[in-house]
Structure 1
Amino acid sequence: MTNLELYNTLNYIDHSRTKRMEMSNLILNNPSSIATLMEIAFQVDDPVSCKACWVLEFTSKEHLTYLFPSMDTFVHNIGSVHLDPAVRPIAKICEILMKSYFQFKDQETRDTLSEKHLESITSACFDWLIGDHKVAAQAYSMTSLLLLGIKFNWIHPELRMILEQNYQNGSAAYKARARMTLAKLR
């Protein structure tokens, strides 16, 4: 599928779970389209990029390894994503990657993600946590940073400080996730 064909197809999907899943299945049946999907996802000022990010998230939930050949592109561009409907799925993909790497200790994930990748994900997660982003992206970032702190010992003290500072002004959902994260940090 060409960039234009994929772009036009993405333009017609909506936020419904059914439409996102249908598009994800199209990608899962044609994994070579992942690179093109990422190319569209990282056209960060285009609203269609958000739809590409939704599909990328669904695809990564179903078959994370399909992202691995394009991991350099993914990690290089995650920090530039700024539209809220795109930040949430990108943050979720980072959480999926970190769970695969640290919790499940998946060897293929560990072989794919370099220290530089992990550092870039760390940077993006801190940006999403302290930036003006919706709670979902911040919650996924908390989980990712909690796991990344296993490898980088400087992360946990920074994470603790940020959560304690922002707790008072956070929404109920933010406070709930922050409490859970802080409990694990103690």
Structure 2
Amino acid sequence: MNATFSDQLSKINASTENRNRMRDFVLQHPESLKELIAFGTDLTNKNHHKGVWIIEMLAEHQTELLSPFVNQICQTISEYKNDSAIRGISRVAYFLGTSKMINLTNSQREKLTEICLDWLIRDERVACKVYAMRTLQHFSKKEPWIAEELKDIISRDYTHQSAGYKAVARKILKNEQ
């Protein structure tokens, strides 16, 4: 892995300026995308969450760039433990799952469905749960059982959740009717 690129990723902080600078670097140097994915999916690297921040930004604005790496992302997605990485990777899951430019395999869709259900059940932060709900809602268009499972989880947990969770949950439940 390019030491200077890794060093730069390791040294950034969460400021928008730093994240935008690294995203722009990757867009200007597409050959560094492979290194970014390796950095962000290497869970033994204490700074992997910083790689996830940049992957998240790419997923939001140019999801198709991640197409060659979808399998690698799906293989590690359930292993993240760092809160900052989980939040970011939940957004990546949402953008991958809802992209019209990326065709997920059945296995990839199953992995994303499974982790989204896990995030909803586990004690995760609200942003992660919101992206999980939205991803599952999208998947439920092709898999009706997901809609039922999502409805059950939301109904069971609704009273114990934050206002942000409840707002998204209401929209999802309204759309399911």
> TM-score, normalising length from structure 2?
0.94
For 2:134 and 2:114, the matched residues in 1 are separated by 14
Which residue of the partner structure matches residue 77 of structure 1?
76
Whichever residue aligns with residue 130 of structure 1, its letter is I
Contact 1:41 1:52 in 2 (8 A): yes
Deviating beyond 3 angstroms after TM superposition, the runs of 4 or more aligned structure 1 residues are: none
For 1:31 and 1:42, the matched residues in 2 are separated by 18
Superposed CA RMSD: 1.4
Which residue of the partner structure matches residue 125 of structure 1?
116
Contact 1:125 1:141 in 2 (8 A): yes
Q: Secondary structure at the match of 2:47?
A: helix
From 160, 168, 173, give the equivalent of 1:169. 160
Which residue of the partner structure matches residue 103 of structure 1?
none
Length, aligned pairs only: 177
Contact 2:97 2:112 in 1 (8 A): no
> TM-score, normalising length from structure 1?
0.89
Contact 1:44 1:83 in 2 (8 A): no
Instruction: Tell me if 1:134 matches 2:125.
Output: yes
**How much has 1:45 moved relative to structure 2?**
5.0
Q: How does 1:1-186 map to 2 (within 5 A)?
A: 2-100=1-99, 106=100, 108-110=101-103, 113-186=104-177
Contact 1:45 1:83 in 2 (8 A): no
- Residues 19-60 of structure 1: CA distance to partner in whole angstroms, max 9, x if unpaired? 101101111112222222122112335441111000111122
Alpha carbons of 1:183 and 1:45: their partners in 2 closer, same or farther (altered >3 Å)? farther
Contact 1:7 1:48 in 2 (8 A): no
Whichever residue aligns with residue 55 of structure 2, its letter is L
